[in-house]
Amino acid sequence: MTKTLSNRYDVVVIGGGAAGLSGALTLTRARRSVLVIDAGEPRNAPAAHLHGFLSRDGAAPSELLANGRREVTGYGGEIVSGVVTSARREEAGGFRLTLADGRVTTARRLLVTTGLTDELPDLPGLAELWGTDVIHCPYCHGWEVRDQPIGVLSTGPMAIHQAQLFRQWSDDVVLFGHTGPEPTETEHRALTARGIRFVAGQVERLETENGRLHAVRMVDGSTVERRALVVAPRFTARVGPLAELGLTAVPLQLNDFRLGSRLTADPTGRTEVPGVWVAGNVTDLMAQLIAAAASGVTAAAAINGDLIDEEVATALRAADNPFSAAAEAALNAQVQGDRRHGLTVG
């Protein structure tokens, strides 16, 4: 059964991952009316466990989200499954959101936590192992592949840094040149000094045994046995219809190499679009789960403060015009009463 939405919320959170749920929890505890719209496509869905999240290390990502949903709804927040297809500013202020199933609602403020898409290197066998034997973050997966034969696929300037990082977890690390830049003489010396082998030439495909990575096959037919392969995806912010509001992802470059794209914001998550905040990987491409959650809290506090500023200004205007204030108070009381009785306002 499709949940009927209220006509207006203080805040609509677009994205129900760690950043979005943390922001929603903070706002519901601040007694704000909050709706979370979740497309159900968490970035870490391929991973069996999450790591580096204090008190939740080793938990399943789905468990973290389920607990977060219970906490948000426990304080009166609403969470619905859906995809936002249109986001527009209203003339009277706030935003009008349309979902793919036709539902419509409005919000005084938006918190965008839509995350990013990992665009993987195009190699046969790679995508199927993403999140298990094909990884990218040493702090998320390094412990799980410790002391195993690890490969690093070079597709850009970060590969040598990745190889040196993963050397912390294994003394058997191979850097595959593939399509990345040739290491300089200084970089070659640094790799050799730490026992990291460099294999020139392009990779053809990954080979598996019983569903697990077994070897990396080169285009010349040779193979190198590996149990884990480190890659550098292109991190692309999920913006979609939010571009209607003027939210445009900007490229993140390392010299001439494009690492990905992100939405820009100030330290609180406030964007250049008035009334819109962002948090999590949609703005911080490198944020781990616990950092994404923390950014949601920071943005939520800033949003609540911004709403209070607006309410103070409204109260001051009302003090100068009591007749207008009485009409506005009556309307607000009606709206809140309808919400309490589960009615759709509008």
Domain at 121-230: CATH architecture: 3-Layer(bba) Sandwich (3.50)
- Structure confidence at residue 343 (pLDDT): 42
CA distance 28 to 43: 25
- Structure confidence at residue 254 (pLDDT): 82
- Where exactly are the structural domains of the chain? 8-118+234-334, 121-230
Q: Which pLDDT band, with edges at 50, 70 and 90, does 168 fall under?
A: very high
Of all residues in the chain, the percent with pLDDT exceeding 70 is 92
CA distance 300 to 295: 8
Which CB contacts under 8 angstroms, 24+ apart, belong to 86-94? Answer: 86/241, 86/244, 87/14, 87/241, 87/242, 87/244, 87/245, 88/244, 88/245, 89/245, 89/275, 94/8, 94/275
Q: Order of strands across the sheet with 228-230?
A: 134-135, 228-230, 150-153, 173-176, 197-199
Q: What is the mean pLDDT of residues 315-342?
A: 63
Q: Which pLDDT band, with edges at 50, 70 and 90, does 332 fall under?
A: low
- Structure confidence at residue 306 (pLDDT): 98
- Structure confidence at residue 255 (pLDDT): 80
pLDDT above 60 (res 327): no
- Predicted confidence (pLDDT) per residue in 263-312, tens digit: 999 999 999 999 999 999 999 999 999 999 999 999 999 999 999 999 99
Q: What is the mean pLDDT of residues 32-41?
A: 96
Tell me the average pLDDT of the chain. 92
- Structure confidence at residue 253 (pLDDT): 84
- Predicted confidence (pLDDT) per residue in 62-109, tens digit: 999 999 999 999 999 999 999 999 999 998 889 999 999 999 999 999
pTM of the full predicted structure?
A: 0.89
- Predicted confidence (pLDDT) per residue in 15-34, tens digit: 999 999 999 999 999 999 99
pLDDT above 80 (res 188): yes
Q: What is the mean pLDDT of residues 2-27?
A: 94
- Predicted confidence (pLDDT) per residue in 204-244, tens digit: 999 999 999 999 999 999 999 999 999 999 999 999 889 99
- Structure confidence at residue 8 (pLDDT): 94
Highest average pLDDT, of 49-53, 187-191, 328-332, comes from: 187-191
Q: Which CATH class is domain 8-118+234-334?
A: alpha beta
- Structure confidence at residue 344 (pLDDT): 40
